[in-house]
Structure 1
């Protein structure tokens, strides 16, 4: 078989193009610092990288959900702390007003403070987090308590507000209003107890005032129990956030191992490819000499 000049030129050009593509590949990896820049670079690696990216996206969303849930719980804990302080103050006033030696006008002054605390309890019962009422179950867009819960009937929702913080894992963040404040007409509910205390103070009813003391203590215990449950959920979320953070770091590390380039290796391959490409150009320049036909054109 006769080897012609055209065959030699075609073969060398094909080799030169291959060397240039290899050089271009390493130049691109050097610029992007990524081993995979298109699916054809590593089809199996691309599948793994997409899976890791999906896991990172999901875990990041779970982290955001857990952060929101934790913020809700912290706000709820602040509200319950204030409720506890008010009930403690009401207990002090009941003890103070329940003494037989306290004059009627002093009891009326105490009743005035009790009324202010009663109004503050209503305000706390209608607390909102990011525009959502926290004591009305799943009906977060509806105000749970009327301006006067004793005179106006109300019905609270008992649904749970849950945040998804993992695959198939949810956490409830709300405290039911009836658990803390009681249902409408409940004689042991905080609103009814405070209203009865105020009426007893105004009526100068020592026995009625003294009866409010154990009722307030029971409400205090109920509020503290609700706050303790909320604290347990916060502890759980702290562990969840820590675990999600570790998972994200792990997935990012795996993604990096699949997608990112080994820069030291890329530099060596790039320098080698540059040398090979330059040598190919030099070789072609020596082999492909101008012929007589080139001069006749």
Structure 2
């Protein structure tokens, strides 16, 4: 094939221009330390870079959300811990006020401190973060969650919305705890109690007094059938009889079955109540079913609503030396129906 002089020079010039462009491009990459200065340099690579940039932005957002959640959790835990400490101090003051050696001045000092604790607890329930957002208001971050009514009661002003933040692909976590969850749903763990009424008090079985896990079920079902008798028939089973001696074991978790080999803090749920069961057997008893059955059976507990208690204290203006040292509720139904919720003054 014959190549003309003109064609030869044109081909050489084209190759030279291409080589010069490549050298120039390489020089630009070295100078800028960037391989892709324009999308035309490498369309596929440019698309990959854009994808990685988007992923990087998303990961940074996830990290920011996680940091926000961690900060809020620490602030919330600090507030709740402080509230617990204040309540414990208030309990100490109330119990101390019943001391017969206390003077009116001592009781007035206690009353003043209780008033301060009341304000402190309200302030903690209305805690804010560094941006001024209320921790326990739900989605109403600019509204104080609790307000004091004219009658001295507290009302919740927030909502039940949990603010969710993405912390991963398809994964979200709540960044807040609402006042509804933290304070409005609190249940009294002393509302029920258990008493060993049959069998040796040998420590083989311990059964907690219970805590309310479902207030609605507790109010409608548990109270109607109490007191109950929980009788252990073997190292793996128990029965529950209500006040009319009706067998209601089927309403308990696992229908009255439990594992003696898993002895620590087994949860029993029954009519809105949750109890913790502990079985304490020796090594030999664990190894022998008959020995385990003999150690556990015939233990019977009575489960029911804890009796109401009434505390008494002298008013600061009372100059009498007489003291009411104890009180007993003799008619629970009448007490629940008629006794003033705010207490009574005996003159």
Q: TM-score range by the shorter chain?
A: 0.5 to 0.7
How many angstroms does 1:66 deviate by? 1.1
Residue in structure 1 matched with residue 170 of structure 2 by the alignment: 168
Change over 3 Å in CA distance of 1:198–1:206 after alignment to 2: closer
Q: Deviations over 1:63-84 (max 9, x none)?
A: 1111111111111122122212
In the alignment, structure 1 residue 99 sits paired with structure 2 residue 99? yes
SS where residue 154 of structure 1 aligns? strand
Residue in structure 2 matched with residue 79 of structure 1 by the alignment: 79
Q: Using the alignment, how far apart are the partners of 2:312 and 2:181 within structure 1?
A: 22
Q: Using the alignment, how far apart are the partners of 2:148 and 2:58 within structure 1?
A: 43
Residue in structure 1 matched with residue 212 of structure 2 by the alignment: none
Contact 1:115 1:198 in 2 (8 A): no
Contact 2:312 2:325 in 1 (8 A): no
Contact 1:160 1:172 in 2 (8 A): yes
Matches within 5 A, 1:247-286: none
- Unmatched tracts of structure 2, length 5 or more: 191-309, 327-347
Q: Using the alignment, how far apart are the partners of 2:132 and 2:20 within structure 1?
A: 61
SS where residue 170 of structure 1 aligns? strand
How many angstroms does 1:115 deviate by? 0.2
In the alignment, structure 1 residue 24 sits paired with structure 2 residue 27? no
Q: Using the alignment, how far apart are the partners of 1:11 and 1:37 within structure 2?
A: 29
Q: Using the alignment, how far apart are the partners of 1:7 and 1:90 within structure 2?
A: 102
Matches within 5 A, 1:207-222: none
Q: Using the alignment, how far apart are the partners of 2:62 and 2:324 within structure 1?
A: 56
Residue in structure 2 matched with residue 136 of structure 1 by the alignment: 137
Change over 3 Å in CA distance of 1:2–1:41 after alignment to 2: same
Structure 1 window deviating more from structure 2 (146-155 vs 34-43): it is 146-155
TM-score, structure 2 as length reference:
0.50
How many angstroms does 1:23 deviate by? 0.6
Contact 1:76 1:134 in 2 (8 A): yes
Residue in structure 1 matched with residue 113 of structure 2 by the alignment: 113
**Going by fraction, where is strand more abundant, 1 or 2?**
2
Q: Deviations over 1:41-61 (max 9, x none)?
A: 222222222221111111111
- Unmatched tracts of structure 1, length 5 or more: 189-195, 209-297
Structure 1 window deviating more from structure 2 (34-43 vs 164-173): it is 34-43
Residue in structure 2 matched with residue 12 of structure 1 by the alignment: 12
Residue in structure 2 matched with residue 177 of structure 1 by the alignment: 179
SS where residue 165 of structure 2 aligns? strand
Residue in structure 1 matched with residue 39 of structure 2 by the alignment: 39
Change over 3 Å in CA distance of 1:84–1:164 after alignment to 2: same
Q: Which has the larger radius of gyration?
A: 1
Q: Using the alignment, how far apart are the partners of 1:149 and 1:86 within structure 2?
A: 23
SS where residue 116 of structure 2 aligns? helix
Aligned CA RMSD, in angstroms, stands at: 3.3
Greater relative contact order (CA < 8 Å, ≥ 6 in sequence): 1
**Going by fraction, where is helix more abundant, 1 or 2?**
1
Q: Using the alignment, how far apart are the partners of 1:146 and 1:99 within structure 2?
A: 34
Tell me how many residue pairs correspond in the alignment: 198
Q: Using the alignment, how far apart are the partners of 1:30 and 1:98 within structure 2?
A: 85
Q: Using the alignment, how far apart are the partners of 2:155 and 2:313 within structure 1?
A: 22
Q: Deviations over 1:79-104 (max 9, x none)?
A: 12221221222122123222232223
Change over 3 Å in CA distance of 1:90–1:100 after alignment to 2: same
